């Protein structure tokens, strides 16, 4: 969606620039700034996503929220996940901003073609408040959304089990502490990422301090699927959080906004060239 925005906007601005020239554009400083901004974004978005073994592949955390209401989302670090000393925010492109993304850096290191086995993400002591926050999130079926090489990844934060424990009915809340990534690649490009939660967790049922070590593993698998078809998997709504199709409204809104932008640009173009047009 973002590429469509950028291609459309850049084509229109290029057309206007070639038709009117820089002299006339200087009379409209806002338009010049918008043109520069879009130009920068288009250039930065034109990454060919090609890597060599050991190269760093962009990995960001995005949002968290209840599985059964994908419209309700919160910043990733509103829960006490492992974090870097300095959390960096990704400069969002237009499509990401329209989608309400909040991409931030994480301590995950999934270098290209580098397998890992139980790599330490962080060791931390969860306070009573941290434990309580995680438990409430698990109770509401919170999922987290990550981004790897611009591919979205969804996973639950933990699980809830209702059962008979020592002769009495009890609800147990478990926080996942190990993450298994399987990354599919074709030559020098990332094609697909699957995240599975291993049977490794920490009990957060009671409000007490808990020492926990978070780890992750990475396995690289070759595939014949082409890079230009890697987004087809997301057409299948079964891999998306419940009610994620509601984002069709966001797509509709984006399309309407784009239409308004196109009409505005055409209006501007006609105003600039009205004298030339009147001659004919």
* Contact call for residues 243 and 69 (beta carbons, < 8 A): yes
Which H or E element spans position 256?
Answer: helix 248-272
Q: What is the pLDDT of residue 89?
A: 92
For 196-202, the CB contacts below 8 A with 24+ separation are 197/155, 197/156, 200/176, 201/158, 201/159, 201/174, 201/175, 201/176, 201/177, 202/126, 202/174, 202/175, 202/177
The domain limits of the chain are 1-46+244-280, 50-242
* Contact call for residues 239 and 151 (beta carbons, < 8 A): no
Q: What is the pLDDT of residue 155?
A: 93
For residues 89 and 238, which has the higher predicted lDDT (pLDDT)?
89
Question: pTM of the predicted model, to two decimals?
Answer: 0.70
Listed in order, strand segments (DSSP E) in the chain are 59-66, 74-75, 104-105, 116-126, 142-148, 151-156, 158-165, 168-176, 178-186, 189-197, 201-203, 210-222
The residue whose two tokens read 């002591």 is 125
Q: What is the pLDDT of residue 272?
A: 73
20: tokens are 């009117």
- For 1-70, the DSSP string reads -HHHHHHHHHHHHHHHHHHHHHHHHTT-HHHHHHHHHHHHHHHHHT------TT----EEEEEEEETT-T
Torsion sign across C-alpha atoms 34, 36, 39, 40: negative
Residue 96 has pLDDT above 80, yes or no: no
- Report the chain's mean pLDDT, rounded to a whole number: 80
* Contact call for residues 101 and 62 (beta carbons, < 8 A): yes
The residue whose two tokens read 């809340």 is 173
263: tokens are 């009409």
CA dist., res. 94 & res. 3, Å (int) = 9
Helix (H/G/I), strand (E/B), else coil: 240: coil
* Contact call for residues 71 and 242 (beta carbons, < 8 A): no
CA 53 to the chain's CA centroid: 24
Burial class (CB in 10 A: 0-12, 13-18, 19+), 134: buried
- Binned at pLDDT 50, 70 and 90, residue 50 comes out as very high
- Binned at pLDDT 50, 70 and 90, residue 225 comes out as very high
CA dist., res. 30 & res. 51, Å (int) = 37
Q: What is the pLDDT of residue 64?
A: 96
Phi, psi torsion values for 97, nearest 5 degrees = -65, -40
Q: What is the pLDDT of residue 261?
A: 80
Q: What interhelical angle do 248-272 and 2-25 show, nearest 10?
A: 20
Residue 226 has pLDDT above 80, yes or no: yes
CA 74 to the chain's CA centroid: 13
CA dist., res. 8 & res. 1, Å (int) = 11
Residue 25 has pLDDT above 80, yes or no: no
pLDDT tens digits, residue range 145-190?
999 999 999 999 999 998 877 778 889 999 999 999 999 999 999 9
For residues 174 and 97, which has the higher predicted lDDT (pLDDT)?
174
Q: What is the pLDDT of residue 1?
A: 42
Q: Which of 271, 126, 153 is nearest to 209 (CA)?
A: 126
């Amino acid at each position: 969606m973002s590429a469509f925005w950028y291609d459309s906007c850049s084509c229109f601005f290029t057309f206007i620039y070639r038709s009117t020239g820089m002299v006339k554009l200087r009379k409209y400083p806002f338009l010049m700034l918008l043109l520069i901004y879009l130009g920068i974004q288009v250039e930065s978005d034109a990454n060919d996503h090609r890597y060599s073994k050991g190269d760093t592949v962009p990995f960001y955390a995005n949002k968290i929220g209840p599985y059964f209401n994908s419209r309700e989302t919160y910043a990733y670090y509103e829960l006490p996940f492992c974090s870097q000393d300095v959390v960096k925010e990704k400069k969002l492109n237009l499509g990401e901003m329209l989608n309400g993304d909040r991409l931030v850096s994480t301590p995950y290191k999934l270098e290209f073609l580098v397998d890992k086995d139980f790599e330490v993400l962080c060791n931390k002591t969860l306070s009573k408040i941290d434990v309580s926050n995680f438990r409430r999130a698990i109770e509401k079926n919170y999922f987290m959304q990550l981004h790897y090489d611009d591919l979205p990844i969804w996973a639950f934060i933990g699980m809830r089990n209702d059962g008979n424990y020592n002769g009495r009915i009890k609800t147990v809340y478990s926080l996942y502490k190990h993450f298994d990534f399987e990354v599919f690649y074709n030559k020098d490009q990332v094609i697909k990422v699957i995240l599975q939660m291993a049977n490794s967790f920490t009990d957060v049922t009671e409000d007490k301090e808990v020492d926990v070590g978070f780890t992750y593993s990475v396995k690289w698998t070759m595939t014949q699927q082409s890079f230009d078809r890697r987004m087809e998997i997301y057409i299948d709504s079964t891999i998306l959080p419940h009610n994620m199709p509601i984002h069709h409204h966001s797509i509709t809104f984006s399309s309407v906004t784009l239409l308004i932008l196109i009409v505005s640009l055409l209006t501007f173009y006609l105003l600039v060239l009205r004298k030339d047009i009147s001659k004919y």
